[in-house]
Amino acid sequence: MSLRAGIVLFPGTNRERDMAIALAKVSGGREPVMIWHKETSLPPLDLIVLPGGFSHGDYLRCGAMAAQSPVMRAVRDFAEAGGHVLGVCNGFQILTEAGMLPGALLRNAGLRFLGQDHSMRVEQTDSIYTSGYAQGQIIRVVLAHGDGNYFADTATLDRLEGEGQVAFRYASPSGEVSDATNPNGSQRGIAGIISANRRVLGLMPHPEDYVDPLMGGEDGLPMFAGIVQGLAA
């Protein structure tokens, strides 16, 4: 099946190619459409991706200005109508700034940009994004962010945990989750969360950068394969 995916381009977006390559890889080479942030309506799509980058330079707060883009109204409508939206890194920040996912992403606790590999644990598998993994599976991903420190108040965190909305947590390669395995100070080691209806996922790490052993790994591939499978069903 060929996936109709759209990638939103904000000024300063820079991981749209990485994402397009990953999506094309699982959809028989079909390239996703690129959607400019000034658009107000969307073509028919199965999936919208908000990719990584530094939208508007990450000035003021990461994702804050992008969340106010004209296109975001259409993205929100799409999600409210049950559409699937994936936000990675800057895309995750935009989703929280737009209020489409709870919480916020603060400056990394170490106050430095993190450009490195890290492991994360798959915390739930009942979404198209996570169904390709086993519960508790440890996957290796690329981190590339300065503001990935997930914050929400305790009530929100408890609700997310209770509803199975914590999708990924930072972990050691052997699967432990502790302060020592938390690269950026995120509350409860949260690397990604999913909406209650399991259709909107936001995560800081970059699964799209590990879809080819040549580039160092393919632990991200099951996410994209799962998306295609899920949306074909």
Q: Which is nearer to another protein, 111 or 232 (CB)?
A: 111
**Least CB distance from residue 233 to another protein, whole Å?**
28
Minimum distance from residue 125 beta carbon to another protein (Å) = 26
Stretch that binds another protein, among 26-34, 64-72, 160-168, 172-180 (CB under 8 A): 64-72
Nearest Cα neighbor of 86 from 176, 164, 199 is 199
C-alpha to C-alpha distance for 231 and 6, rounded to whole angstroms = 14
Let me know: does 85 contact 48? Beta carbons within 8 Å. Answer: yes
Q: Which residue is catalytic, options 37, 56, 89, 97?
A: 89
Supply 178's token pair.
């502790």
184 SS3 class: coil
Does 172 bind another protein (CB under 8 A)? Our answer is no
Is 83 near another protein (CB under 8 A)?
Answer: no
151 binds another protein, rule: CB under 8 A: yes
Q: Could you say whether residue 52 binds another protein (CB under 8 A)?
A: yes
Handedness of CA 26, 193, 103, 190 (dihedral sign): negative
Q: What is the CA radius of gyration of the chain?
A: 16
Active site residue 89: yes
Helix axes 221-232, 16-26, angle to 10 degrees: 60
Interface residues toward another protein, by CB under 8 A: 11-12, 14-15, 17-18, 21-22, 52-54, 56-61, 64-65, 68, 96-97, 102-104, 106-116, 142, 144, 146, 149, 151-153, 185, 206, 208-209, 214-216
